[in-house]
Structure 1
């Protein structure tokens, strides 16, 4: 039951990548950790977003080995598996080649924290990870090394694209959406001149408010 529900959730979330214009053709993927199990689910490789079904979502162990499903998993499976092995607090991982964020990645340049929305969601700049080839776990190593000790749930992998993490697949998708949004805005700001920095102490206050005060809180 748990795996089936997670497959349904992850399948549905892929439509959000399309809705927000974060992917082209079959590129990009969402995965989610199975609660209480050394398993995760991930998009199959090269399958159209329109053709995704919960049954087509592949179940893998934390070494990236398929344990359930008839299709080959994403070519980024080893990277996702590495993140889940070494970041136990992460329950969702997303990868996109969204245009503006990937343009920053192509330059190997972090996105500076010059917007309150960045302070809210990312707690500072969106960092750049190292160049790594697709297929093995080198990308996963770069994601983990870059995000360790960093408040950002997003990393720009150099010459590649965006990886985001979250405490759920939904929060990882949200981070990917927000990453592209601020990447675009900061790019436009730089065309007009030098964006104004936000003081570190204000970034801290904004991040704390958004993470702990903003939105609806349960009183139960």
Structure 2
């Protein structure tokens, strides 16, 4: 079932340790199949280097296992709440990447002081409130606080990113950590100046509509 999506979600999960966004078994990537509504997600507590595509778990939007021999991620309820409430989202990533999570530990958003932040995120990367792990609470907080951004920092916890595909969500997760590191280093030297709102809007529009190759 959903073999192509399993392969994609498996590949995107492997991108997390490759980009130093997770350690050991932490973090996860999921993807939603638009046709069935089923979600493919990483199994709980399995080392990335030991996973195979067939280890990915298929669940419905209510959390029932449709296919899979292993238990799904402990963050499954969070992912499913987001999918049920954001029909535009078909990929979700959760990490504890260190530079971005340092902002989450402080409960501080990442200011839009780089063109890369304006490009990818369209504004400051927001921070959501602390929410307990294991149920839908984090999902509710993400949906309530993320706005139009593809990423959010959850206070005292970590990073969640969303996208129209699992690949887009992983890209956002990689970008969050990259810009968080740069902003952290800048703050060691002083207080970086934020870009004007009009410039942020112009940069984001250009990135979303003119950057890259046009597909027909």
In the superposition, the TM-score normalised over structure 1's length comes to 0.97
Q: Show the 5 A alignment for 1:3-152.
A: 3-147=2-146, 150-152=147-149
The number of aligned residues is 216
- SS of 1:83's partner is helix
Residue equivalent to 1:191: 188
Cα deviation, residue 133, structure 1: 1.1
Cα deviation, residue 38, structure 1: 2.1
Q: Deviation per CA, 1:50-90, whole angstroms, max 9, x where unpaired?
A: 11111100001111221110100000000000000000000
Cα deviation, residue 151, structure 1: 2.5
Gaps of at least 5 residues in structure 1 are none
Tell me whether 1:203 sits opposite 2:200 in the alignment: yes
CA distance in 2, matches of 1:211, 1:13: 22
Tell me whether 1:176 sits opposite 2:173 in the alignment: yes
- SS of 2:212's partner is coil
- SS of 1:93's partner is strand
CA distance in 2, matches of 1:179, 1:19: 15
- SS of 1:31's partner is strand
- SS of 1:163's partner is strand
- SS of 2:80's partner is helix
Which 4+ residue blocks in structure 1 deviate beyond 6 angstroms? none
In the superposition, the TM-score normalised over structure 2's length comes to 0.98
CA distance in 2, matches of 1:186, 1:210: 20
CA distance in 2, matches of 1:152, 1:81: 19
Q: Deviation per CA, 1:156-214, whole angstroms, max 9, x where unpaired?
A: 00000000000000000000000000111001111110101100000000000000000
RMSD: 0.8
Cα deviation, residue 18, structure 1: 1.0
CA distance in 1, matches of 2:201, 2:68: 44
CA distance in 1, matches of 2:8, 2:202: 33
Gaps of at least 5 residues in structure 2 are none
